Amino acid sequence: MSIELQPTAAKRIIPIVAARSIASSGWRRWRLPTQFAFFALFVIAPIFDLFRYDLTAGHAWFLGMEWRLGFDDFSAGRIGALEIGANVLVRLFLPLLAGVGVFLFIAWKWGRLYCGWLCPHFSVVETINRLMTRALGKPSVWEKEALPPWHADGSPRIRDARWWLLTVPAAVLFALTWAVVLLTYLLPPAEVYGNLFNASPTRNQAIFIAAATTVLSLEFLFARHLFCRYACAVGLFQSLAWMGNRDAMVVGFKRERASACASCLPDRASACDAVCPMRLTPRNIKRHMFTCTQCGQCLDACSEAQRDNPDGPLLAWVSGEAARQNEAGFRAGGLGRNTRESARE
């Protein structure tokens, strides 16, 4: 009998061990470099014609090559309807569907990895979060209460209003950068940067940059979390794909050791809640973590707070059967208790 039970037990342990090995091997250390690298790619892609649409030339660029569908030739009568239809199918719809398919499969299996590990907007969100926390004691002006006065390692969290002198200019500078870069995706980068270098942008260029900088500055300062949670279509479709897979990777919570959360920080404060850039409660059920970006900061905070606990952290990435068991535990009665604890904290 014992021999028959061993494979079943091992099968349930495998996903948990695999998720822990990812965390312990230092994969999350690569998140900041990947964010920085993708932001740099976002900036330089138009410069090297890696990807952009040129309104002046009337065609797209991809990997340094002109990407045309042939509408000019069709209008001039050089190609027929059958050929233009084939061009649209082969050069537009098929590559688009393939790219979207791969993107959604990654989200279906691992969640909003693009948001947490690559997105140039989310890297700005996290940067402003950190600066605003230093200036205000909380990552958003809309939060009712300040964060706990301790970091996950027990060190004091210092609040200094002088950080506003860096927070606001940083938000405006990021907004200006985004505005200029977005313009280079539509107009020749040499023209845009050349005009800015000579302080002689065209009227339309100046209006676009001024308007985009103003809107993005306000968004970065006051609505960056709202945009990521409710307005970003890229994030929304990732979350929908992720929610459709019960075996997808989630942040698993060891509810049988929930009492250890009471000693996480003084006054029953929660280290994992404090570090979440999307302002979620990581110990909650998956559908309440709809906008989780899989950044892993809650896992790092839990590991740090429980560093002296011989049983290890209470949070870990889990997938497969372990993810199903994690959700089943909430349905079995843990949801109400954990929701009340999160609300109280």
Q: Please spell the DSSP secondary structure of 228-263, one letter per residue.
A: IIII-HHHHHHHHHHHT-TTS-EEEE-GGGGGGGGG
In the prediction, which pLDDT does 329 show? 58
Please answer whether residues 261 and 301 qualify as being in contact, where contact means their C-beta atoms are separated by less than 8 angstroms.
no
| Alpha-carbon span 211 to 213, nearest angstrom | 5
- pLDDT confidence of residue 212: 97
Taking alpha carbons only, the member of 152, 156, 147 closest to residue 309 is 152
pLDDT averaged over 10-residue windows placed end to end, the chain, 345 residues:
42 38 58 95 95 88 85 75 84 91 96 95 95 93 88 86 96 97 96 94 95 97 93 95 93 86 76 90 89 92 87 89 76 45 40
Which amino acid is located at 137 in the chain?
G
Residue with tokens 């860096």: 166
**pLDDT value for 22:** 41
82 CA to centre of own chain: 42
Torsion of CA 172, 278, 236, 214, to 10 degrees: -10
Q: What are the CA-CA distances from residue 215 to residues 90, 212, 263 (Å)? A: 37, 5, 43
User: Which one, of 29, 119, 113, lies nearest residue 292 by Cα?
Assistant: 113
Q: What is residue 330's predicted lDDT score, i.e. its pLDDT?
A: 58
Structure tokens at 336: 């109400």
Indicate whether this model's pTM tops 0.85. Answer: no
Q: What is the pLDDT of residue 333?
A: 44
Give CA angle at 121 (239, 92), nearest 5°. 70
